[in-house]
A = this chain, B = another copy of it.
Amino acid sequence: MKTIFNHRSIRQYQSKPIDQALLDKILEAGTRASTTGNMQLYSVVVTRNEEAKAKLAPLHFNQPMVKQAPVLLTVCADLNRFNSWCEFRNADAGYDNFLWILNAVVDASLFAQNICVAAESEGLGICYLGTALYNAPEISEALELPKGVIPLTAITVGYPDQNPPLTDRLPLSAVVYNEKYEANTEERINSLYAEKEALDSSRKFVAENAKDNLAQVFTDIRYKKADNLHFSAKLLDFLKAQGFQF
């Protein structure tokens, strides 16, 4: 519990390497998470090699921690192993569809989060890189991922060389509903986002980008509609190339 409440994304690491036995223990902790039918529809590629990290860095938009962290984990939704098993056992697999992409994405995410909590409980720091989905085809090529495998998220791991403050969260009432969902009226939204919008860091973002408000920093600067549409279409094409049918 203390580990979970102490989580912050670490973007600066000591040069100290991670002992292999410790890393194995952390990855094994990942595998203790529940999965659909205990099918374990995930895998992880561990990158320690400097050259390999340098090759992956631009695919994560050159976020510096990719090269700086001693270990980069690329967590994948993986139907390939299960489908291969079925194939070699003369069993008629039907897992190349949208439902099973989502099942595998959930499996892989629970695995990833267990890894992160386990790593942090051992004094390591982590940072998720959501960029894996943006350049999934290129990452897939670099790591030689076969059909049925989707690079879902990447995680940098290492001993922290910074201690950033906790980041803000919306009030709990923003995300927790009792019995029924409650419509997000303008009044409710104003109330839920008031604190976030009033933060110094938020005001600074708005001012620096010459926007009217924080929401526009997201829509016009950080995650623009045109980019979203481009990367979404690219991702769908990749999934079709990986053998999934829609």
Q: Which residues of A contact B (CB under 8 A)?
A: 1, 4-5, 7, 9, 24-25, 27-34, 36-40, 42-49, 52, 78, 80-81, 84-86, 88-95, 97-100, 102-103, 105-106, 109-114, 116-118, 121-122, 127-128, 130, 133-134, 143-146, 149, 152-153, 167-170, 172, 174-181, 183-184, 186, 189-190, 192-193, 212-216, 218-220, 222-226, 228-229, 231-232, 235-236, 246
Contact = CB atoms under 8 A, between A and B. Distances in A.
B190 A46 contact: no
B7 A34 contact: yes
B109 A106 contact: yes
Given A184-B84, A212-B89, A177 B99 contact: no
Contact of A92 (B28, B184, B219): B219
A178 B144 CA distance: 11
B98 A235 contact: yes
